[in-house]
Amino acid sequence: METILPLSTLSLFLAGAFILLITPGPAVLYIVARSMDQGRRAGVVSVMGVQTGTLVHVLAATLGLSAILLTSALAFDIVKYLGAAYLVYLGVKTLLDKTPLTANAVVERRSLGSIYRQGVVVAVLNPKTALFFFAFLPQFVDPARGAVGVQFLLLGLMFTLMALFTDGTYAILSGTAGGWLKRNQTFLRAQKYISGTIYIGLGLVTAFSSGGHKSS
């Protein structure tokens, strides 16, 4: 009996998700800034808020992409390839971006409850997060195995759980060594090249791997 998520698909997903999550991006820099300003506890609370907001995008992607598949298998394949193209676009855009990232963001001091709510809002109102899930999740779903909604949901929950731990690690480390991160511009400059390369690589890999899935 076939499993909903075969080991080969699961391994590729976990590897890709982990690489993406440990690569610093805008969300990580926000968490780092909060942690440096108010300490590790505030950083962890901000992580919880961000991941709560991420779950909203997971559910939206699960319902939306499942509906697309039920409407048209061809439309679903188109979404998968557009998603792969979007990942490549993100990589190229990141590499060409001349705007320097900084961890020196001015963060207003807030209560822990307010920090949590702000994290939720930041994640929910970020359109790039929604687009990312619509680009990333379909690459690892095989309609031939059925239970497409379950596949989407499981992958989204696993991604969010991994993000909880990786972002939490950033919060704890930056809360402890915040001063070093503020001064280390090499860390900030290098992250965009790493991020861009990873996005392009993942987009190309998933574009080719998508061709192996059958939608009939």
Q: Is residue 216, in this structure, part of any structural domain at all?
A: no
Q: Is residue 215, in this structure, part of any structural domain at all?
A: no
Alpha-carbon dihedral angle through residues 106, 108, 114, 115, given to the nearest 10 degrees: 30
Chain segment 82-134, per-residue pLDDT in tens: 767 777 887 788 778 776 555 454 455 678 888 888 778 877 776 667 767 77
Q: Is residue 146, in this structure, part of any structural domain at all?
A: yes
Q: What average pLDDT does range 60-69 have in this prediction?
A: 77
The whole-angstrom separation of Cα 194 and Cα 150 is 32
Half-sphere exposure of 31 (CA within 13 A, CB side): 32
175 lies in which domain range?
12-98+109-210
Tokens of 107: 């963060």
Is pLDDT at 46 greater than 80 in this prediction? Answer: yes
The whole-angstrom separation of Cα 140 and Cα 9 is 6
pLDDT at 67: 74
Chain segment 26-45, per-residue pLDDT in tens: 667 667 777 877 788 888 99
Q: Is residue 129, in this structure, part of any structural domain at all?
A: yes
The whole-angstrom separation of Cα 65 and Cα 79 is 9
Q: Is residue 1, in this structure, part of any structural domain at all?
A: no
Q: Is residue 6, in this structure, part of any structural domain at all?
A: no
Mean pLDDT of the chain: 75
pLDDT at 211: 44
Q: Look at the chain and report how many structural domains it folds into.
A: 1
